[in-house]
Amino acid sequence: MDRLRQLKSHLTSSAGIVALEAKRPDDIVITMAVRSPLCKSKKGAFKDTRSDELLTSVFKAVIKKSRIDPALIGDICVGEVLASGAGYEARGAALAAGIPISTPVQVINRFCSSGLMAVTTIGNQIKAGQIEIGLAVGIESMTMNSDRGAQKPSDKILAHGTARDCKEPMGWTSENVANDFGVAREEMDLWAATSFQRASHAQLSGYFKDEIVPIEAFNAPAGDEKRERVWVTEDDGIRHGTTAEALGKIRAAFPQWGGKTTGGNASQITDGAGAVLLMRRSKAEELGLKVLGKWVTTAVVGLQPRIMGIGPSIAIPRVLEMAGITINDVDLFEVNEAFASMMVYCIKTLGLDKDKVNVNGGAIALATGARQIATGLAELRRRKQKVLVTSMCIGTGMGAAAVFVNEDLD
């Protein structure tokens, strides 16, 4: 029976890949996937650049890189979590960057998946025939908009055993994952060191150059008479030379909840952005644009808020089933690395090949969001491979995952 199941799995997988790689006029394709440099919050190259200034610069860079008339963009969706006036900021930045007044802008917030949700929203709008071309952006300036957590909930929510967990800090959820599922501090530090080492190797080898667009920023705070424009071209948060031994010496960030999570094995606090331009394949061909890849589908799932970090372990199987493929069909995984605890758990639970996961580092060394798509597709091009799965956990107890296919195999 086991042999029959194995054969059935291989046959299903083969058929799924053939269908996935087929090219159709109505495919939702990607003609541009780029990101800004990713810089340390409050210390890095974007620390003196307001979030609306950063977004304006990102829009300008995207217009230049996209090779299309911005008037053709039917809608823009910006994923942004922390800015209190995100809607005002996004529309104003688009207009200031030279995007026509006729191009609308919307903002979406589903925590760490906001960039992917922007891509999914634009993809679905194109699929529904509402627009022909759309731009998805994910951005965060954690320097200018720090995470202040949830407001105090109502008594009714506080009285609900599960709902009240939605307000709890992310560090608490990381410790819950480590404690509930037996993830050791040593395993967490080892994965975090791997993330930094892979990101270091990628940066020093020049792998990120194809996905990064230079961003105009400022070298002093607004109002400073010495303030000047500068160009930022490289990530500045990667800790070169990081080892598991060194990470093991960092004190626990949350000793009251378990003491395994630290500033060294959790995601960085980062300023940066990513952008993806999508359209139907037929439109790309009409405009003479090179197709880099295609978006296949996205899955979003819910789970207990107290262990929100394990979201990818549920979302990834769901999206693979939706796409008709198996884990073995995937060439690369980009999983967010909110905390090393959730990464260790998800890799073990799904049986992922570590050599396929975050091969150029993850959010512990870089950042999450739309950045994962730019990084994943660029690495697939370099390797001449095809299938990418991006995934992330989501605050308040959710997970998301998406499947993409690289078509730039030249």
Backbone angles phi, psi at 26, to 5 degrees: -95, 10
Q: Is 51 helix (H, G, I), strand (E, B) or coil?
A: helix
Q: Which of these is catalytic: 39, 77, 112, 346? A: 112
Asked if 137 contacts 275 with a C-beta cutoff of 8 angstroms, the reply is: yes
Question: Does residue 112 carry a catalytic annotation?
Answer: yes
Q: At a CB cut-off of 8 Å and minimum separation 6, what does 72 contact?
A: 132, 133, 287
Give the Cα separation of 351 and 348 in Å (integer).
5
How far apart are alpha carbons 387 and 376 in whole angstroms?
A: 9
Q: What is the rounded distance in angstroms from the CA atom of residue 266 to the CA atom of residue 285?
A: 43
**Could you tell me whether strands 215-218 and 28-35 are parallel, antiparallel, or unpaired per DSSP bridges?**
unpaired
CA distance 26 to 208: 31
CA proximity to 31, closest of 375, 212, 287:
287
Q: Is 97 exposed, middle or buried (0-12, 13-18, 19+ CB in 10 A)?
A: middle
Catalytic position from the list 39, 77, 346, 393: 393
**Residues labelled catalytic:** 112, 393
